[in-house]
Structure 1
Amino acid sequence: MPVKYTCKNCGSELYKFEKVGQDFYGVRTPSEIKSIYGGKCPRCGHELQVPSLAEIKITLKKRAISG
């Protein structure tokens, strides 16, 4: 299941972790993503913040049923 960080203001994708072994560090934390971009979205300039638990969305990918 991919982990995706997006800007709350413009929806721009800031980081996407798709699979184990993608990079040496593993899944980055919201604080790391914020520091990578200097605290601002590179697309709209909105200040990046660490999300609260209520702001985190979990969606499941539907699987195709073979039959």
Structure 2
Amino acid sequence: MAVIYKCKECRKVLYSFEKVGQDFYGVRTPSEISSIYGGKCPKCGKKLNVPLIDDISVKLRVKRSRSF
């Protein structure tokens, strides 16, 4: 399951964690993502806040089999 942080206003993807081993640090926290961008979205300039429970959605991704 991927972890994707998006701007609440313009929906720009700010960070995406796709798989274990992607980087040394693992999944970043919302606070870390905010500090990377100086607290503002680089696209629209809106202040980045820690998400509320209503801002979080879980979506299942079905793995498709390959046919050769």
- Paired residue total: 66
Aligned to 1:29: 29
Q: Which runs of 5+ in 2 are unaligned?
A: none
Aligned to 2:17: 17
**TM-score, scaled relative to structure 1:** 0.91
**TM-score, scaled relative to structure 2:** 0.89
The residue type paired with residue 9 of structure 2 is: N
Distance 1:19 1:64 in 2: 17
Distance 1:38 1:14 in 2: 12
What is the identity percentage for the equivalent residue pairs of Structure 1 and Structure 2? 62
> What secondary structure sits across from 2:31 in the alignment?
helix
Tell me how far 1:40 sits from its aligned partner: 0.1
